[in-house]
Amino acid sequence: MGVNKIVTQGLVFDDGDKDNLISGSCFIGNSLPGDELSIDTLTAVVDCAEEMPTLFQPADADGMLTKEDELFGVRPIVRLLVNDLSVYSYGEPVSYYHGETLIGKFYMASVKRVGKFNYEISCISAVGLLDNDTHYGGMYNGTPMEEVLSDIVGGMVGYTLAPAFMGLPVYGWLPVATRRENLHQLLFAMGASLQKNTAGEIQIVALTSENPAELLDDRIFLGGSVAYGAPATSASVSEHAYMAYDSDDTATLYEAEVPAEPMTTPRGASVNGALVLFEGPMHGLVVENGEILESGVNYAVLGPSSQCTLTGKKYTHTVRVITMQAPATRALGEEKDNVITVKDATLVSLANAENVASRVFSYFSSAKTVETDLVMGTERPGDPVTFSDPFGEQTEGFIRSMDVKMGRTLRASATLVSGYVPTGIGNYYEHSVLLTEDQTWTVPESCKGKIRVVLIGGGQGGHGGCKGANGKGESSSSSTGVGGQGGQGGEGGRIYVTTLYATVGRTFSATMGTGGSGGISDTAGMEGTATVFDSYSSADGRPSTSGYAELFGGGVYGLPGEMGVAGANGGESLTYGGVTYPAGELGKADSSGGITAYGGQGGGAAVGNAGKPGNDGEVYKNPDGTYSTTPGSGGQGGQGGPGSAATVYGCGGQGGHGGGGGGAEGSMTGTSSSVWHNGGGTGGLGGQGGKGAAGCVVIYY
């Protein structure tokens, strides 16, 4: 039996008794913070022939016999190709052993024939398999990590997840990407590391620097190098939040024929239709003249249609940058910034951003990289080790990767990272509390040293509704008054976010802001007062059109109020909230001497009030036998009702409802000696805006 052995498809290739393993090498690595998930590789050249005894006399044999009575000049053994590796299955398991020790478990990726009997096999690790398949992403709002992990891996490879990660909630969004890329996003956000156990299986674990293995000097070859990266002065990490609102922008996602092509959906169903991928996460999908067979936030599978239109709403995506800063160690004039920036890790949320920033800063602020050759033992990438670097300094660190060339002694060109101490895994903030009354808040025992405080001031009162326009009063040009516009909703309270160091038992005083009163007709509402927490005030923040979404509880605070409803035009009714408000009745007509004076139009309705009736027309005979006429004047528009007061903390009040338009003056027919005009009706006043809601404080700890 040889020192090196490769086993695949029930075949064994070794460099000993069989002597059919000609050469080979492998690379194995591990993902540290900021690194991509490495794809382990194995390359080997194997001999696929076997020696077979000759059972016939070749045509060129001369018939002479040896003393052993064998034919002279005949080769008693011939080499024949017995294992054709060109017939292979992608993903076929391949195991590489050195002696009885499993070095790595790989999967067949490609085969190349390099000689009459020789084949070169190229293999990849399980991560490589994940790199060749698509994951369709998703939106996660507290989904346990094990469920997200299972969805990403999709049953393609086996793995185990350390108990420390079980049940950890995941927040954020994953795009359509390879399974490897999305697995990397998940592990990066949650502080997990991918390693391989002694059976070559994937393990999702937390890096630990405890109990490092000692690499003795007799295992380390002379030579090597030590690289010192520029220490990071700060780590800047973007935390992402995604919220679905009815008011989100609507986009057309597909507008064309959907062919009836057989396909497999992202969830594995066999259907006829088409897959539509979105450029970003969408919600509220609506299809016209078609059918949605399956959908996610990043895609939809549409059934066959001659002309299909698919629309959806874009998630509201907010980004907040947090920074982990190193203390200044040099004179101000000499200080140079080396900022490590993480922008597009979309599973970095409020919950875990502090831990992510800490890990990234720790890794890039002090790590040095050691390159050296060593005799490979039982240590694997991701394991902590202690050793003497190429210049004799005792060093502790992690093995990042090993590039191994097969031989009687396995010599690995190793990369080791020193100076990095792993920090917390999972989420930093695991609890939240909502303060809605003036009080003193005490930091609980479960606090880890920092609190994230969101101050939301009192909401602004809604703006008053607009007055309806007057109806016109000239018979020749009488016209209806237009209903007044509803008032704008008040802005949500100002929002200010800060992170504070907080020891257990420390107390903070909190005072809630009050909501502003609504404006009267055609005037703006009053702004709410500030919410104060310790020395911090929401006055230093600003309102947000999307409010503030509390991550754990799902509540949304500080939204702007709704706009009031416009009043109806003169003579028109209005329905709102299931209630119909009628227009004013039309005034009665009066006729005499061939002359008719029509009654005035009723005033338009408004939310809360009906329009006033129009006045009757009047025709009367003068003493000289002529006739005078007074068309009926228009009715007054209904007065707009008040907007609703905000009931959700920090939200603005609804705008007041617009007044109804005045009714037009009645007309006349026939000829009279004089016409008196009382004019169109006056527009109704706009209603008062609703009161803004009181402010609040959200604390994460």
158-171 confidence digits (pLDDT tens)? 999 999 999 999 99
Judged by average pLDDT, the poorest of 53-62, 336-345, 661-670 is 53-62
In angstroms, the Cα distances linking 541 to 271, 398, 491 are 51, 44, 13
Answer yes or no: is pLDDT of 75 > 70: no
Q: Give the mean model confidence (pLDDT) for residues 636-646.
A: 98
pLDDT on residue 59: 58
Q: H-type helices in 35-144, by residue range?
A: 126-130
Backbone angles phi, psi at 602, to 5 degrees: -70, 155
CA gap 286, 436 in Å, rounded: 38
pLDDT on residue 164: 94
**What is the residue-averaged pLDDT of the chain?**
92
Q: Do 646 and 460 form a contact (C-beta atoms < 8 A)?
A: no
Six token digits for residue 400: 């990042």
pLDDT on residue 695: 98
Q: Give the mean model confidence (pLDDT) for residues 492-506.
A: 97
CA gap 16, 24 in Å, rounded: 14
Residue % of the chain over a pLDDT of 70: 94
- List pLDDT tens digits, range 343-353: 999 999 999 99
Tell which residue, 422, 451, 281, 423, has the closest CA to residue 350.
451
Chain centre distance of CA 117: 52
- List pLDDT tens digits, range 432-486: 999 999 999 999 999 999 999 999 999 999 999 999 999 988 655 779 999 999 9
Q: Give the mean model confidence (pLDDT) for residues 316-335.
A: 74
Answer yes or no: is pLDDT of 324 > 90: no
pLDDT on residue 61: 54
pLDDT on residue 64: 56
pLDDT on residue 87: 86
Task: Please report the DSSP string for 65-82 in residue order.
Answer: B-TTSPBTT--SEEEEE-
Tell which residue, 584, 555, 544, has the closest CA to residue 568.
584
Answer yes or no: is pLDDT of 252 > 50: yes
The most confident of the ranges 74-83, 317-326, 683-692 is 683-692
- List pLDDT tens digits, range 568-618: 999 999 999 999 999 999 999 999 989 999 999 999 999 999 999 999 999
Answer yes or no: is pLDDT of 327 > 80: no
Confidence band of 395 (pLDDT split at 50, 70, 90): very high
Tell which residue, 447, 557, 424, 554, has the closest CA to residue 142.
554
CA gap 659, 683 in Å, rounded: 6
Return all residues near 467 (Cβ < 8 A) that are at least 6 apart: 484, 521, 522, 658, 659, 683, 684, 685, 686
CA gap 120, 114 in Å, rounded: 6
Confidence band of 332 (pLDDT split at 50, 70, 90): very low
Q: Give the mean model confidence (pLDDT) for residues 391-397.
A: 93
Answer yes or no: is pLDDT of 423 > 90: no
Judged by average pLDDT, the poorest of 201-215, 449-463, 640-654 is 201-215
CA gap 549, 171 in Å, rounded: 13
pLDDT on residue 31: 73
pLDDT on residue 294: 97
Angle CA 549–149–143, to nearest 5: 25
Answer yes or no: is pLDDT of 56 > 80: no
Residue 641 corresponds to which amino acid?
G
Q: Give the mean model confidence (pLDDT) for residues 108-125.
A: 95
Answer yes or no: is pLDDT of 63 > 60: no
pLDDT on residue 221: 95
In angstroms, the Cα distances linking 617 to 371, 472, 534, 596, 661 are 102, 16, 69, 8, 20
Six token digits for residue 115: 């000689």
Judged by average pLDDT, the poorest of 288-302, 461-475, 519-533 is 461-475
Q: Give the mean model confidence (pLDDT) for residues 215-240.
A: 92
pLDDT on residue 249: 94
Q: Give the mean model confidence (pLDDT) for residues 530-538.
A: 98
Q: What is the pTM of this model?
A: 0.85
In angstroms, the Cα distances linking 383 to 185, 266, 415 are 21, 36, 12
